[in-house]
Amino acid sequence: MLTEKMEKALNDQINAEAYSAYLYLSMAAYLESLNLSGFGNWMRIQAQEELSHTMKFFDFVYERGGKVSLTAIDEPPKEWANPLAIFEGAYEHECKVSAMINNLVNIAIDEKDHATNNFLQWFVSEQVEEEASADAVVQKLKLIGDHGNGIFMLDREMGQRVFHAPASQAT
């Protein structure tokens, strides 16, 4: 059974994960408007991952006897200066999400909620991957600079990314 404090914190995270998906879809839309469909694909896949995270939290709240309470999702930005700015924003956002997950772990520990703490450890590991993935693109874009050929080649590489549902959600 979830405590009231833990349930509220998990519901806040559901909203944050849904916002993350919305943010990445907005980034995809902007990149695709620049004819950078590979970069757009990377962001679409990121949005799918965030929606799968949303559902993991959603399902967990009910598994623990809680109630999901959905709230309004904030409007994401619509434009960025360039692809580097978008991926720097994605990296910063993932760092923020990591801090939120860490805070959830702290609440679970304070509430002596071992089941939730155990559940959250998957997200702790996932956030290491999320930060590294976004930062890798940032570093590549910094190396490329404004060289159109490099942007074109990286865009093609980014178009190869595919979504892999977490094992617990694979059908």
Closest CA to 134 of 50, 10, 18, 9: 50
83 exposure class (CB count in 10 Å sphere: 0-12, 13-18, 19+): buried
**CA atoms within a 13 Å half-sphere pointing along the CA-CB vector of 149:** 0
Main-chain phi, psi angles of 72, to 5 degrees: -60, 145
Domains annotated on the chain, with CATH: 4-162 (1.20.1260.10)
Global model pTM greater than 0.75: yes
Q: Mind listing the pLDDT tens digit for each residue in 102-136? A: 999 999 999 999 999 999 999 999 999 999 999 99
Mean pLDDT of 79-89: 96
Q: Mind listing the pLDDT tens digit for each residue in 29-56? A: 999 999 999 999 999 999 999 999 999 9
Closest CA to 117 of 133, 129, 101, 130: 101
Mean pLDDT of 75-84: 96
At 22, is the pLDDT very low, low, confident or very high (cuts 50, 70, 90)?
very high
Q: How confident is the model at residue 170, as a pLDDT?
A: 46
Q: How far is CA 57 from CA 50, 52, 168, in A?
A: 11, 9, 12
Residue 171 pLDDT > 60, yes or no?
A: no
Report residue 169 CA to chain centroid gap: 16
Report residue 96 CA to chain centroid gap: 10
Q: How confident is the model at residue 168, as a pLDDT?
A: 59
